[in-house]
Structure 1
Amino acid sequence: MAHSHSHQHTSQDTNAKRLLWAFAITALFMVAEVIGGVLSGSLALLADAGHMLTDAAALLVALVAVNFARRPPNARHTFGWLRLTTLAAFVNAIALVVITILIVWEAIQRFYHPQPVAGWAMLIIAFAGLLANIASFWILHRGSEEKNLNVRAAALHVLGDLLGSVGAIIAALVILWTGWTPVDPLLSILVSCLVLRSAWNLLKESVNELLEGAPGAIDIEALKRKLSRSIPEVRNVHHVHIWLVGEKPLLTLHVQVVPPHDHDALLGRIHHFLEQEYQIEHATVQMEYQPCNGPNCDLNEHDHQSHAHHHH
């Protein structure tokens, strides 16, 4: 037990170290891109800097979250602080949306009033930004063996950012070769769409977790069917609740069973089934010998008709 615990800590530490490095690189280049965007008059660079800002925020949030996740559960926070990471992902997603709206708005203004753009300055800074992104992504990607929502979100951000830098480089080249400046706001809108996509996914996942939604991969009806099929003593499964805390699925359910010879062995088999089939390590199972007949028995049942027949 002690061994597995210490292992978890080392993985947390390497996560934290990687995140810190990626954060330092990203924050540094974000500042460079803002200055570059203002000096060269390039909106694509500013869009990429906006992207990098959200990256830096994502990384910072992930860092804080990793540190909070280390805190052990206590009497008030029985899950530890794992939810904080979800909340952080949620706030970050909203910030992304706001930045996207601002950039697109500015881009539309620029189509009407084209502005001069210094191609060379833009090209050099965009290229440096690309290198910075590659470095951050490489650092983070080595850390994504552990399925950690925040490290994964951060790595995804940086990947989107990479495309943003490529967009800025393309815009700079077009401006240098043809002098057609509207390509700059055009590509800034493309970059913004990338930002929006990652924001939307992040928002969906984090909102689902905050609303105690079931993990997308688990079909509750199928779980009930499979459980009664695999374990013959199980007659009926009801009151199924499943939710996520910091990526860990939790489950509570009631089962009506044929009175077993060995209560604990049957319970053990149910737990084993949940862990094998659904990787649910934390389940609370209430075993009942009588059919369920309270007012909420139909809570998770779709077939009310057949139920009504049983009661008559």
Structure 2
Amino acid sequence: MSGHSHVFLGERHDANARRTLWVVGLTAAMMVAEIVAGHVYNSMALLADGFHMATHAGALAVAAAAYAFARRHAEDRRFTFGTGKVGDLAGFASALVLGVIALGIGVESLGRLFDPRPVAFLEATVVAVIGLAVNLASALLLSDGHGHHHHDHDHHHHDHDNNRRAAFAHVMADALTSVLAIVALLAGRYLGWLWLDPAMGIVGAVVIAFWARSLLRDTAGVLLDTTDPHLEAEVREQVEGPGDARITDLHIWRVGPGAHAAIVSVTGGVEAEAIRRRLVPVHELAHVTIETR
């Protein structure tokens, strides 16, 4: 039975891997620029954002490594159902990093709210604008192919490439902090609203924490083999619809982006091949095991 394929990497795996590598390069370059500028202009805000971006660069590197690992070991028999979940594991780790970043930004912002520090507004604004441009370019790279091609079923929230989604979340978190920083820096320079910088930091921390929570929930669900109730209902409808078969045990779990495995135990005297034909319309099922009694 070794001829049966267990490669469930997702149709855009290689394209997403290439885009993620480009984003890693862009983020790392911007990180170095912000840290250098922070030293030159004696700006703690730029230094903090530079080191904050370093954590994103690290998380993006993990995403790129996950793509490479999944591709390299796609045919490795040690992985019972292939390496389609490697991206979800990387996404879960990235979500944890996002949560830590949100906490760090929130704590630092609260501290600065009660203890304002002088900021080199002009220089910091220029670098923040450049950083935003890099973030938007990175987001554009990662958003290509963001859509899914499912015409008859609505399971799109379970079909995401969570590794690419995590990389996208990191880039958007950076873009958000850049936008909030630009608004706060301009208000600080022209209106004297020094309090707005830490206030915007708190807003950014809350939004990033929300993204991290959503990503944690979805990736943890994949890693823990949670079932998709809609997909399960569809399988039951296809198998039991004619009325001559009854499902006694059903397990459905995700093995890769858009790909699910299923174990279906059926009674009623219907042959396994007949059940398999009934499940053909359920295109999310990539690996089906049928037990008949």
What is the TM-score normalised by the length of structure 1?
0.77
Q: Work out the CA distance in 2 between the residues paired with 1:268 and 1:96.
A: 42
Q: Distance in 1 between matches of 2:38 and 2:203?
A: 17
Structure 1 vs Structure 2 CA RMSD:
2.6
Matches within 5 A, 1:85-96: 85-96=87-98
Letter in structure 1 aligned against 2:289:
T
The aligned amino acid for 1:163 is L
Residue in structure 2 matched with residue 241 of structure 1 by the alignment: 251
Q: Deviations over 1:238-278 (max 9, x none)?
A: 22111122332111121112x34xx3541332332433xxx
Tell me if structure 1 keeps the 8 A contact 2:24–2:61: yes
Deviations 1:14-60 (A, max 9, x none): 322211111111122123334555632328x735852x344323321
Which residue pairs with 1:181 in the alignment?
194
Give the structure 2 partner of residue 69 of structure 1: 70
Residues in 2 aligned to 1:55 and 1:272: alpha-carbon distance in whole angstroms: 42
Percent identity (aligned) = 33
Of 81-90 and 161-170, more deviation after overlay is shown by 81-90
Match in the other structure for 1:256: 267
CA distance in 1, matches of 2:50, 2:210: 15
Which residue is 1:299 aligned to?
none
> Which residue does the alignment assign to 1:55?
56
Partners of 1:107 and 1:20 lie apart in 2 by 31
| Match for residue 113 of structure 2 among 107, 111, 114 | 111
Greater share of helix residues, 1 or 2? 1
- Residue in 1 aligned with 2:104? 102
Q: Which one-letter code corresponds to 1:24 in the other structure?
A: G
Please point out which of 83, 86, 110 is paired with 1:84: 86
Structure 1 partner of 2:230: 218
> Which protein, 1 or 2, shows the higher relative CO under an 8 Å CA cutoff with sep ≥ 6?
2
- 1:10–1:109 distance in 2 versus 1, CA, 3 Å: closer
DSSP-derived class of the 1:129 partner? helix
Distance 2:145 2:126 in 1: 30
1:113 Cα deviation (Å)? Answer: 1.3
- Matched residue of 1:82: which SS? coil
The answer for unaligned runs of 5 or more in structure 1 is 1-7, 289-312
| Pair member with larger Rg | 1
User: Paired residue for 1:41?
Assistant: 44
Q: State the SS of the aligned residue for 2:252.
A: strand
TM-score (norm 2): 0.81
Q: Hey, what does 1:301 align to over in structure 2?
A: none
Q: Distance in 2 between matches of 1:224 and 1:142?
A: 32
Relative to structure 1, is the Cα distance of residues 231 and 273 closer, same or farther in structure 2, using a 3 angstrom cutoff?
farther
Matches within 5 A, 1:86-235: 86-144=88-146, 147-215=160-228, 218=230, 220=232, 222-223=233-234, 225-234=236-245
Q: 1:286 pairs with 282, 287, 291, which one?
A: 291
Change (3 A) 1:11 1:89: closer
The one-letter amino acid of 1:185's match is P
CA shift for structure 1 position 115: 1.0
How far did 1:177 drift?
A: 0.5
Count of residue correspondences: 270
Please list every run of 5 or more consecutive structure 2 residues that lacks an aligned counterpart in the other structure.
Answer: 1-8, 149-159
Residues 11 and 85 (structure 1), Cα distance of their counterparts in 2 relative to 1, 3 Å cut: closer
